[in-house]
Amino acid sequence: MTIAEEKNPPVKLPNEPAITPQIVAEHGLAPDEYERLLKIMGRTPTMVELGIFSAMWNEHCSYKSSKVWLKKLPTKAPWVIQGPGENAGVIDIGDGQAAIFKMESHNHPSYIEPYQGAATGVGGIMRDVFTMGARPVANLNALRFGDPEHPKTRHLVSGVVAGIGGYGNCMGIPTVGGETNFHPAYNGNILVNAMTVGVAPSDRIFYAAAAGIGNPLVYVGSKTGRDGIHGATMSSTEFNEDSESKRPTVQVGDPFVEKLLLEACLELMATDAIVAIQDMGAAGLTSSSFEMAAKGGLGVVVELDKVPMRETGMTPYELMLSESQERMLIVLKPGREELARKIFEKWELDFAVIGHLTDTERMVLSWHGDIVGNIPIPPLVTEAPMYERPWTLTPLPTELDAAKVPAPKDWKASLLALMGSPNLASKAWIWKQYDHLILGNTAIRPQDGDAALVRVANGKAAGHKGLAMTSDCTPRYVQAHPETGGRQAVAEAWRNITAVGARPLAVTDNMNFGNPQKPEIMGQFAGAIMGMAEACTVLDFPVVSGNVSLYNETNGRPILPTPTIGAVGVIDDIATAVGARLTQAGLALVLIGDTKGWLGQSIYLRELCGREEGAPPPVDLAVERRNGDFVRGEIVGRRVAACHDLSDGGLLVALTEMCLSGGTGATIKLPKGAAPPHAWLYGEDQGRYLVATTDGEALIEAARKAGVPAVHLGYSGGVNLAVEGLLDVALEEIRAVHEAWLPDYMNAAV
């Protein structure tokens, strides 16, 4: 469509600069992308139109480098109500209920301004969930920081944790799980991935597709300010020495307003007034209005002078690109304006009719009666850049011979060193700042199980079902071999859900990578997707939502490739669930799964030998499913007292964590032929679980009949952790080291 076909060509506002190559570049558009824009428009754009194209075509909003690969992920299953493409994914959890969930990144903002960056990340992902009609029931987060010795790391940890806790606690939503890791690769670019899970009636899901020519377009929530302008564009570029100057692009959140917005939206959703609803996230009013019109195949007129503003002298450009928080855009049924207005004014929120839907398939922007923007909507979608970037596959490293990795000279010292290392040390200092028990439905709290578990009222006379949820990724595996690492991230999430007794149902992902214009980085992304797709297919674990965060680099140094997997499962009767706590003596300890003693890319190798090398442990998905289905059946059958999957640090670390969590010791003995002992105890072979049971012989016999490898290792009891012939150490000595590292680190002088 050309300018000749426009009914109302836009006017140029006073003091509006001429569009120059420099201004185009500052908006993140490549020269060929700008030429594509000119072809669509048939003329030079106004500044506000240029800003809209910049917002909609940046990496953060358009997925232009990743879309071709994301299409390879499985997204369907009988229990999937809504897959990718909406604000969040939706799955059926029975009893007329749906779980709605998504994970999203706020990496760049959190590095620049850790408190507000993390806080608004939490606020944004909660809006994605409740805009679809769900009441949030739990939050999770996956955090990656740089080397603890780096001068900025302590400051970033402090700010991010405070921001997550501050926002989530004020909203009254428990933060129930996640992970926190440290690695020098994140020195200049931390990762803050936030996940929210909500519950809604399965027949009351709200979507973003606009409908009804003439229907009113309504703005609700906070007023619009100048915060966050170009936030999405900033998140689509690498960092450099000037990254601190991007502080104004970080949004500022107010959880108390968000709480009001949540309650007001849910109250309006209980009526029949809403046609479509969309939160204003990245790119603010631009993305929300455009996406609603595009999904509905309609046009939209937006009267920008009617937008509630908290600052004087704001321009159309600023209003369209502001990423001010706690705002929603709603299409109402005709005649429902006053009903909606009363609800939002009762909750002391702004309410304004700012436009209406049309049949033109154009976005028309007016400013005090003048047309300042007029953009055809379909080509903005159909002709948006989508790249098949060159990529090179990361070769599989040579398998590391465990016999050539030195055994500990002092077994006790090695265990204490591992349990007190940054990645394995207790993260209680973090999660105790989050209110993880609010609402009273948290059944398994952080560090007490492989997955968090939240009760869900199901309307039955007795019993409650539970939602299990987790966040997982092992970036060092992905770095070594992306396909294996992607496969393992999905498998571990599936295991963690299984280990509490729940059925894994679906995945949300957060793909954190470096610059996709580098073939080796694009190869990491492609490899990870291939591994994830295979695992999700074999495990019946579809991807229903997600987020891509690229350009996570500083001065050309990329992060470890980090495809974070958030996962949700359901357990029909929460009374059958188990955690990982050893709370009683006399339980038989049974190892499920084969052990080779895989030390390549292991925590043992890195922390005690100072080496990061070798192939990561292979993932046999058929074995994962077989072993996991068996373990889940034993848990639901009430034949398991505690269960822990084996991951970082292998068997001995898993056993130590079970003992520390439950306050009960254990004594185990290595099976015959388990050599070398350090590989058997610290190897990170996949598809394994450590199970505590009152009847070890019966469980082993059941495993034999199911074709599942199982070996009796020993028993719980006492106040020490012992491995016959190698190790005997008091739990309290381990606990002192395990719990001290993070508080000592955070309390140390900068």
CA dihedral (218, 222, 223, 229) positive or negative: negative
Residue 496, Cβ neighbours under 10 Å: how many?
27
650 within 8 A of 605, measured Cβ to Cβ? no
Angle, in degrees to the nearest 10, between helices 153-171 and 731-747: 100
Residue 243, Cβ neighbours under 10 Å: how many?
18
494 within 8 A of 504, measured Cβ to Cβ? yes
Between CA 648 and CA 183 the distance in angstroms is 15
How far from chain centre, in Å, is Cα 80?
19
Taking CA atoms, 511 is separated from 70, 102, 261, 486, 600, in Å, by 10, 13, 29, 10, 24
What DSSP state is assigned to residue 674? -
Between CA 685 and CA 680 the distance in angstroms is 9
478 within 8 A of 561, measured Cβ to Cβ? yes
- Phi and psi at residue 42, to the nearest 5°: 75, 15
Between CA 229 and CA 214 the distance in angstroms is 30
As a residue count, the chain comes to 750
Tokens representing residue 686 in the block: 């996949």
Q: Which residues contact 35 (CB under 8 A, 6 or more apart)?
A: none
Between CA 656 and CA 305 the distance in angstroms is 62
Q: Are strands 689-693 and 562-571 parallel, antiparallel or unpaired?
A: unpaired
Point out the residues that are catalytic.
60, 106
Between CA 229 and CA 284 the distance in angstroms is 9
Omega of the bond prior to 422 within 30 degrees of 0, cis? no
SS3 state at 556: coil
SS3 state at 319: helix
What DSSP state is assigned to residue 134? P
Residue 409, Cβ neighbours under 10 Å: how many?
7
566 within 8 A of 670, measured Cβ to Cβ? no
SS3 state at 656: helix
171 within 8 A of 262, measured Cβ to Cβ? yes
SS3 state at 714: strand
CA dihedral (667, 671, 672, 675) positive or negative: negative
Q: Which amino acid belongs to residue 715? A: Y
Tokens representing residue 70 in the block: 């994301």
Between CA 464 and CA 441 the distance in angstroms is 10
Between CA 292 and CA 207 the distance in angstroms is 9
Omega of the bond prior to 378 within 30 degrees of 0, cis? no
228 within 8 A of 284, measured Cβ to Cβ? yes
Angle, in degrees to the nearest 10, between helices 114-130 and 153-171: 40
- Phi and psi at residue 620, to the nearest 5°: -95, 105
Q: Which amino acid belongs to residue 439? A: L
Tokens representing residue 651 in the block: 């068997």
Between CA 247 and CA 587 the distance in angstroms is 55
82 within 8 A of 446, measured Cβ to Cβ? no
Between CA 600 and CA 609 the distance in angstroms is 12
Taking CA atoms, 700 is separated from 246, 372, 650, 697, 710, in Å, by 59, 73, 21, 5, 6
